[in-house]
Amino acid sequence: MKQIELISEINRLRHEKNAVIMAHYYQMPEIQDIADFTGDSLALAQEAQKTSADIIVLAGVNFMGETAKILNPAKKVLVPDINAGCSLADSCPAEKFAEFIAQHSDYKVVTYVNTTAEVKALSDICATSTNAKKIIEQLPENEKIIFAPDKNLGNYINSVTGRNMLLWNGACHVHEQFSVERLLDLKNAYPNAKVLAHPECKNVVLMLADFIGSTQALLNYATQSNEKQFLIATESGILHQMQKLNPEKEFIPVPPIDSTCGCNDCKYMRLNTLEKIYNSLLTEQPEILVNEEIRKKAVKPIEKMLKMSV
């Protein structure tokens, strides 16, 4: 089917089935452009909690679909490609994490939403990169905290809050891969450009950044800034929204190590296509299902996070 026909079929099906398409900022431009709602991890969770649609098509990765299902179990939650995992979620298997928590039973357990439902079920509070600082600052200063799975985000939050959280040794394969050498070359080539970096990046990259923030925070910064050029150290999908909202500004992606390509893409996010979205609406598959016992435990830390983010 041609792209124009696919879009028209997607539109027909979403209206017929009262479905909503939610897309993360790391989706391909054509998916962001047809989505009913586009946002970062926190915004997608908030939107999934309040939607009145019968079907949620979550164009992102599986943990985002699971979060939507956990928050709104009466809805049918579909993902375009069931293989859209996440290297951060994979770095924290529930059985190993349960053992780790058992060894530190006097710690509060804060987990990034980039985890499986099973790991969320073991947690006291969830966090995203948008609200992690705010959430940690609301915990008593003497509280012992485990933060998992992203060690880079954990280190960054430790540095801005003065806490000494115990960190799980996980990382995102995209954000770990930014090349410092190529970033320095770009800074030379664009001496007036501001460097915007996601806190999942390594500390050496964050040290070169003019602004550090979640995907939404980077977009807001770029939009509100009077500067004209920006070097972007996060998944390259966000450049689409940055450029759309700021056509007069220039956004240059920071490339990864060992790549001839200029962009750093998440291989999981890029599994989704318009065709797969169409197929998921047509067949109502693949559907995200979460065991009810796990869901009841996992919903508590997510709801706590949403309350603490207001």
Site string for ligand 13P, 202-221 (x = CB under 6 A): ------------xx------
* Residue (of 144, 197, 25, 65) closest to 56 by Cα position: 65
Q: At closest approach, how far in Å is the CB of 130 from ligand 13P?
A: 6
User: Using the 8-state DSSP alphabet, how is residue 193 labeled?
Assistant: P
Taking a C-beta distance cutoff of 8 angstroms, is the pair 235, 174 a contact? yes
Residues at the contact surface with ligand SF4, assessed by CB under 6 A: 26, 61, 86-88, 114, 172-174, 235, 266, 268-269
Q: Measured from the CB atom, is 14 or 130 closer to ligand SF4?
A: 130
Nearer to ligand 13P, 161 or 264 (CB): 264
Contacts of 244 (CB under 8 A, 6+ apart): none
Residue 128 in contact with ligand 13P, rule: CB under 6 A = yes
CB of 153 to ligand 13P, least distance (A): 9
Q: Candidates 29-37, 127-135, 136-144, 285-293 — which segment interacts with ligand 13P by CB under 6 A?
A: 127-135
Which of 114, 116, 177, 309 touches ligand 13P (CB under 6 A)?
114
129 contributes a contact to ligand 13P by CB under 6 A:
yes
Tell which one of 19, 31, 32, 40 touches ligand 13P (CB under 6 A): 40
Q: In what order do the strands lie in the sheet with 194-197?
A: 211-212, 194-197, 229-233, 250-253
- What is the spatial distance between Cα 114 and Cα 74, in angstroms, rounded to a whole number? 22
> Mask of contacts with ligand 13P, 136-175, x by CB under 6 A?
------------------------------------x---
Q: How far is the CB of 112 from ligand 13P (least distance, A)?
A: 8
Nearer to ligand 13P, 21 or 61 (CB): 61
Q: Does 38 bind ligand 13P (CB under 6 A)?
A: no
Residue 140, strand partner residues: none
Q: Which does 268 bind (CB under 5 to 8 A by kind): ligand SF4, ligand 13P, none?
A: ligand SF4
Q: What is the DSSP string of 247-310?
A: TTSEEEEPPBTT-SSS----TTGGG--HHHHHHHHHH--SBP---HHHHHHHHHHHHHHHHHT-
C-beta of 267: minimal distance to ligand SF4 in Å? Answer: 8
- Contact status, residue 215 vs residue 26, Cβ threshold 8 Å: yes
Between 269 and 281, CB nearer to ligand SF4:
269
Q: What is the spatial distance between Cα 71 and Cα 59, in angstroms, rounded to a whole number?
A: 17
Distances (CA, A) of 165 to 28, 86, 111, 188, 295: 35, 23, 12, 36, 26
Q: How far is the C-alpha of 140 from the C-alpha of 155, rounded, in Å?
A: 19
Summarize as ranges the residues that interact with ligand 13P (CB under 6 A): 40-41, 114, 128-130, 172, 200, 214-215
